[in-house]
Structure formats: structure tokens, C-alpha cells
Amino acid sequence: MDISGIWYNELGSTMTIGPVVDDAFEFNYETAVSTKNCAHGEFKGSGWINTSELGQTIAFSVSWMNESSQCSSVTAWSGQVQGSDDDAKIIAFWMLTGIDPKNDWAPTSIGEDNFSRTQPSDALISEKLKSKRHSHA
């Protein structure tokens, strides 16, 4: 399945994936949420996809640094592409890591994101914001 194009997670963040070349791709990510209210604007990311007769696995990452944000953190996602073009989903676990020299793993959070090609409703975003961790700095 072609993964290029616009994807939305359940919190309303947007990922725009460019063409896949030799199993690698670049994308732009705009977060709708921010754990520390640091991440603003678009962020560049890169990723890889592996396609076999069993399906597609995917991994991608973002450094939360751009012209307007210096968040000192990164997020990496790893998961699967599921469904067909009409109902495609990217189901992925994420790990957000920041910096705290005195507490090695304290600034690390783990969670999951579900991306689809359909923008979530405001009601769904509101519901998910109450119960989900944020994968963005």
C-alpha cells in the first residue's frame, strides 16, 4: 500500500508523508498537543517501511526542534500499517525522550498512536485528550 499523503492521529496531529524511495521516506509533522507546550509549527521527520507478503511494518522519528521550538526531545514510533487504501491505519507505539541528567529515564514516556487518513472529530479529540499520553514535547 502507498503510505504517502496525509495522516491524522486520534489527537488531531498531522503527518504528511512524502514518496517512499528504497523503503525510506521523509515527512512533516504538526502536533496538535504538546506535553510542555514547547512544540509549535511543523517538524521534519524520517522513516522506513518494510513490506512483505505478511504486511507492512513502519518506523519513524521526529526531533522536536525547528525555527520556533527547541524542545530538547525526540519521539520514535514503531508499528504496522493495517487495512487497505480505503480504511488504512498506522498503529504504532511511541517513545518520547527528553533530557534530565540526574534522572536517566525520568523524562521518557511510552504510549501508542493510531493514525488514519480521516481527520478526527473535535468530540473524539476531546475524549482522547482526557485519557492519552502525548507523544510530543
Q: What is the pLDDT of residues 84-127, one digit of tens each?
A: 877 999 999 999 998 887 887 778 889 999 999 999 888 888 88
| Inside any domain, residue 44 | yes
- What is the count of structural domains for the chain? 1
Structure-block grid coordinates of residue 15: 503527518
Cell 522513516 sits at which residue? Answer: 47
Cα 116 → chain centroid:
11
| Inside any domain, residue 119 | yes
| Inside any domain, residue 77 | yes
Taking residues 46-55, report their average pLDDT: 95
- Identify the pLDDT of residue 125: 81
| Inside any domain, residue 88 | yes
